[in-house]
Structure 1
Amino acid sequence: MRPTAIRGHLDALILAVLADGPRHGYAIIEALQARSGGALDLPTGTVYPALRRLERAALLTGRWDSVGGRERRTYSLTRAGRHALAVQRAEWNEFAAVVGAVLRPVEGTP
C-alpha cells in the first residue's frame, strides 16, 4: 500500500487500535500491521509524532511504565478520543459508501 494512501487517516487508525485497550508505541505499530494483514508497515518516525499530536489534542493519555528495566510510554484513549473515533468511523463509512457507489461499474458499461 502506498504511504500516501493513509494520509489524513493515520489518527483514526491509531485511535481504532487503542479502542481495544492501552498499548505502548511499538505495540501500536504491530497492531496496525496485524489488523491490516501486513499492508500497513509504518515507520516509527510516522507513528510517534502522531501519538504526541493526539496526546496534545487530549485524544490520548500517555504514562511512562518500566518493563524489564526499560521505560516505555503506554497510550490510552480519553473520552474525547473515543468520541473522535466514533465521528471518524461515521465519516469514513459515509466516504467509503460514496466512493464505492461512484467506482462500482454501471450495468451495461465496461
Structure 2
Amino acid sequence: MANVLRRMDSDVPAMGFFHGLMLDAKKHIAVRFDNDESKYKVAWDIIDKRWDSKLKTPLHLGGYYLNPHYYYPNKSEIEHDGSFRVAVITCICKMIEDEET
C-alpha cells in the first residue's frame, strides 16, 4: 500500500495506474502471507471496503482500461469483464453532453 500511496503522491500522472496498482498491492499482500487467505482476508476486506465505496469510479476503471501497461498483459480478462468498457463510455458521456456527437 505504501507503493500505491507513493505513486499517487508523485508528480507523474497516476489516474491510469491506480486500479492496477491496487490489484498489484492486493496480490503482494497475499504473497506476503503465503497465499493463506485466512491470514490476509482481514486486510483485503479493509482495502475492498474503502476501494469499493470511494475509489472504484468510472474514471479509475476507464484509466485502467486505456493504460497499455495493464491492458495488454491482461487483455482477455479486461475484455471479458464489460465493466471497464462501460466505464469508458460513462466518462465520455460525462465529457460530451451532446448524444449525437
TM-score of the superposed pair, with normalisation by structure 2: 0.30
Identify the structure with the greater strand proportion. Answer: 1
TM-score of the superposed pair, with normalisation by structure 1: 0.28
Return the index of the structure with the highest Cα Rg.
1
